A and B are shown apart, each in its own frame.
Chain A
Amino acid sequence: MKFISMLFVSICSFPLFTLGCELADLSFLVPDIKVQYEFIQSKTVAALSRPLISSGVLGFSANEELIWQTQHPFKSTLVISAKRLKQFNQNDVLVSELGNPMVVELSQIFLSLLSGNTQKLETDFTQKIICENGSWQISLTPGSGSYETLLSLISLSGTQYIEKITFLEARGDYTEIQLSAPSNNHLGNFEMYLGD
């Protein structure tokens, strides 16, 4: 869920006029901790009769650290940097530095996308970009075995900013994330999660 939001943020921040329908041509997330993006996530799982809905905010620092904060139904904050993944609980206490290795790996993929390092995406995913009437859609299909077992498709779409991210998992579950336009983080509450 968290990296999905990240991806969302990243793509949100691509202003439309720079969009040349090449991943490498896109501009990336605003590296400013004072800017935040709101999200609503809906997750549909076979075993459950109704989808799991959650919402929260995202931010990206100048040091390329991504803050992903779920606020409802519970508070939980994830900080992703190039080398580590930190998780804070509802009381903002650091609970773990590492999680499921695959989650860590996927988090790194989104981070590299946000920071403009598209090399990883080009080797591991097949991309398809469609531009039409000022809106666009990117589909990423995992090519290498390691992601294929988990993911079937990642799809991102938007106009001026990214508006929707869809994840289709290999087992059939899917997740949809709606993202708002960037706004000022007037609470300024992201700094506390950064640094060591």
Chain B
Amino acid sequence: METRIRAVAWCVLAVMLACYLTVLTKNSSINIDSNILSLLPATEADAAVEQAFNNFSEKSMRRLVFLVVNTNMAKARQDAEELTRVLRESPWLTEVKLEHHDGEKAASGEYFFNYRHHLLSKADEALLRERNYQAFSEDAIRQAYAPFSGALIDLLQKDPFLLSYRAGMASSTNSNLTMKLDDGYLITQVKDDYYVLLTAELVQSPFNQDLQQQVLAAINGIEKHWIDESAGTRLIRAGALFYTAYAYDTARHEVNLIGGISTLLVLILLLLSFSSVRPVALVMVALGFGIASGFASVRIIFGAVHLLTIVFGTSLIGVAVDYSFHYFVIDDAESGETRLKRILPAINLGLLTSAIGYAALLPTPFPGLQQMALFCISGLIGAYLTVVLLFPIIPLQNKNAPYLLSLCQKFIALGESKSARISLSIALLLPIFALGMIIMNESTADDVRNFQAQNTDLLNQEHRIQSILNAPAANQFYLVKGSNPEELLRNLETAQVKLDALVAKGAINGYLSIADWLPSIRQQDLNYALYKKLYESDAGLSLIEAGLISQDNFNRAREALAQEHDDYLQPQTWLDSPLGKELDHLWLGVNILNSEGEGRVGDIERNQSYSAVIALRGVMRLDLLDNFSIGESGQAVFIDKISTVNAMLAAYRSNMVLLLVIVCCTVSIILFLRYGLKRAALILTSPIIAISTIVHGLVLLDEPLNLFHILSLFLVVGISVDFGIFSAEAGKLSANTLLAVLLSALSTIFSFGLLSLSATLAVHSFGLSTLIGISSALVLSPIIGHLVIKQSGETNDPCKAG
């Protein structure tokens, strides 16, 4: 009766879970996240800085940059136009920009004309401060004699010193493009190749998979067309989209391949072991229920499930089926209830120790690790509940495969042999050597980029684009704040002195700051005052004498200057200008936030904080870049997301080691309470030697230690302790018990071990160390199992492990 109630309870749970997942699928709100940044914790202590980084990175992540390359300029242009047409058809893309239209040029001309008395380039400022006014008139005369100068001579009648033209030229040489504007296209020539620039923006984050597929399909289609055409056109691309799509594809491919192979191998193993379909089907049910529980709880708590969580989660197969194995290997029991009773203490303890291991990851600030921990804990509980609630009601008539049993018997005999005990004694030296290796070996690799599969081809393309465009670094920049736009701009201006010093020292090649185009009101007043002296000088007379402007027109221009004193260039006007639109990612002020909503606006408005980014070009000496103060209260904060996160990963690796020690201690106490000192110590020998073997293995394979190796140790400790517990609970080391251990170890190796084939270094690291650790625990299991059981019999005898 009780058996039936429990089975019904399981069915209710299963139906609830199925309904929840069905609803999610129907609403297409499964929410699988592949954004690498969502795996990372907030790294900046200052919330405004963190938000600024998020804003900046979100904007940069939506940007796509293409260079269409051909040795023939006309063909390069033509193909760039074709690509533009294709991209403009996509509903996922906006601001697809190839030609720079006349309208834009006119808008730009009008803009510089309107603010000609307030904008001043650094070079011109130097000329005016030296009172070299004739330089302005001489330049104007030279321009007038140059070809096609008609338009400039027209302009000269209203703007005698061509101030708007000078500001426009200075502005374009300052901008982030080294490419020249040619007939409306941005083209550059490197050796024999012409590069035509094309930019676009995604309407959504690049992590939307529909977006990824459709945009990539369009681009691949046109690339294939170019290859078929064999006119030599190539496409170089850069953008977060391409990396994301690649990482996503790799991960999905791995889930399919590794998950598939793993499931297949486990199935074959089960069929061979039990020569019956029913256990296999039940294992699948336990597994499916486990994974579904893991997925559902992560989805409920986190709102989305990260792709990497699923990759790790599919490997849950290895652990979740362990409970089933122990249940099935008992082949002499009459009913399910008897089986359950026999294994319940062991699987209770197993669940407890594994859950402790994973729970240790929950307090870390890494959302990715929290997800994985939650996924594994709820998955394990799901599998456990399936065994406890559902299994007893299903009648079983399986028989353990005799050849496997005899193999296990031989294995047990080997474990009891004297040579095995000698081997164990020698193996006990491993931890000492391993400790030495850890101290001696300082090769570690804590790099956040390991989270994602790397594609060298894409990296090369991006480097090519960066070198051609002289594009600034996306992850390293300065952030400057101010309580209002004017203060922000003044701070930016002050910061430039320090930045120029950094350029002079060779720390950076250059920088990109809004202050180069948008002066503060204070600076605009200074500029205006300098221009006023220019108009008062005799430079104007030179122009009149050269016959370029009449005295009347010059007088009118001077009157215009007097009237325009207060016509300041305001931030919003600059942001709306063609160049402002191109560089608005550097401006993180409130106006931008308002347009994007997102509910963070309130905070910023309360704090009245305006911020802007100073992008850096060619970071050469990272060690020289640090925060610096501006004036009395301001500060330019150096943000280096990758280095910061990498430093944090390294710190976490150290903290995880400490956490692992704490977990081992907790497990030791639980084991001590149940089994006493000697048996607890014996059971712990297995994980300690396993960890030491991993350390040796990694050193031998020349793999630098990273956080993910350490993370795998939690799993290795959990499983290898389980082996000891099952031996201790079994009372005698039977072939059946060892079969369960063997199946458990092999299934773990099949699932986690296969992860070592992953292209994502993080997953590979996790897989490799699990493979080494579990293999070691498996080899040790008969020896330690034998000793543990011997201890159970002769609790008074001294431990003979040594």
Residues of chain A touching chain B, judged by Cβ–Cβ distance below 8 Å, are 1-4, 41, 43, 45-50, 52, 54, 70, 73-74, 76, 83, 90, 98, 100-106, 145-146, 150, 167, 169, 171-173, 175
Quote the shortest CB–CB distance from B165 to chain A (angstroms): 10
> Given A47-B153, A52-B547: A103 and B181 within 8 A (CB)?
no
Q: Shortest Cβ distance from B301 into chain A, in angstroms?
A: 57
B743-755: CB near A (< 8 Å → 1, else 0) gives 0000000000000
Partner of A45, one of B142, B149, B181: B149
Known interface pairs A48-B548, A74-B138; A101-B147 also in contact (CB < 8 Å): no
Determine if B144 is an interface residue (Cβ-Cβ < 8 Å): yes
For A54, the chain B residues whose CB sits under 8 A away are: 145
CB pair B181 A101 closer than 8 Å: yes
Q: List 7 A-B contacts (CB under 8 A).
A: A2-B147, A4-B147, A47-B154, A73-B546, A74-B142, A100-B148, A106-B147
| Most B C-beta atoms less than 10 A away, residue of A2, A52, A73, A145 | A52
Inside 8 A of B157's CB, which chain A residues have their CB? 47
Which residues of B lie under 8 Å from residue A100 when comparing CB positions?
148
Cross-chain pair count, CB within 8 angstroms: 67
Contacts of B180 in A (CB 8 A): 98, 101, 104
Distance of A155 Cα from B415 Cα, bound (Å): 102
Give how many B residues have a beta carbon under 8 Å from the other chain's beta carbons.
23
> Of residues B149, B150, B153, B183, which shows the largest number of chain A Cβ atoms within 10 Å of its Cβ?
B150
The 7 closest A-B pairs by CB, nearest first: A173-B150, A146-B183, A101-B180, A101-B182, A47-B153, A45-B153, A1-B147
Are A3 and B147 in contact, CB atoms less than 8 angstroms apart?
yes
Shortest beta-carbon distance from A76 to chain B in Å = 6
Q: Chain B 201-212, CB within 8 Å of chain A: the 1/0 string?
A: 000000000000
Chain B residue at minimal CB-CB distance from A41: B145
Bound CA span A74–B157, Å: 21
Are B145 and A102 in contact, with the CB atoms below 8 A? Answer: no
Complex interface: chain A residues within 8 A of B156 (CB): 47
Selected contact of B146 from candidates A1, A146, A172, CB within 8 Å: A1
Bound-complex Cα distance A102 to B180 (A):
10
Cα A83 to Cα B192 with chains together (Å): 11
Asked whether any CB of chain A lies closer than 8 Å to the CB of B151, the reply is: yes
Mark B115-142 against chain A: 1 for CB-CB distance below 8 A, else 0: 0000000000000000000000010011
Instruction: Give A99's nearest chain B residue, CB to CB.
Output: B146
Interface centre among B144, B148, B149 (most CB of A within 10 A): B148
The one of A41, A76, A146, A171 that contacts B142, using a Cβ cutoff of 8 Å: A76
Interchain CB contact under 8 A, B148 and A102: yes
State A1–B39 Cα separation when bound (angstroms): 61
Residue of A whose beta carbon sits closest to that of B179: A101
Determine the residue in chain A with the shortest Cβ distance to B189. Answer: A83
Give the distance to chain B from A135, nearest Cβ to Cβ, in Å: 26
The interface residues of chain B lying within 8 Å CB-to-CB of A175 are 147
Shortest C-beta distance, A114 to chain B (Å), equals 16
Contact yes or no, B141 A73, CB < 8 A: yes
Among B153, B156, B548, which residue has the most Cβ atoms of chain A within 10 A? Answer: B153
New A-B contacts (15) at CB < 8 Å, excluding given A47-B154, A103-B147? A1-B149, A4-B147, A46-B154, A73-B141, A73-B145, A74-B138, A74-B141, A101-B180, A102-B148, A102-B182, A103-B146, A103-B148, A150-B148, A169-B148, A171-B150
| 8 Å CB interface, B491-507 against A | none
CA–CA, A169 and B147, complex, Å: 9
How far is A120 from B450 in the complex, measured between Cα atoms in Å? 51
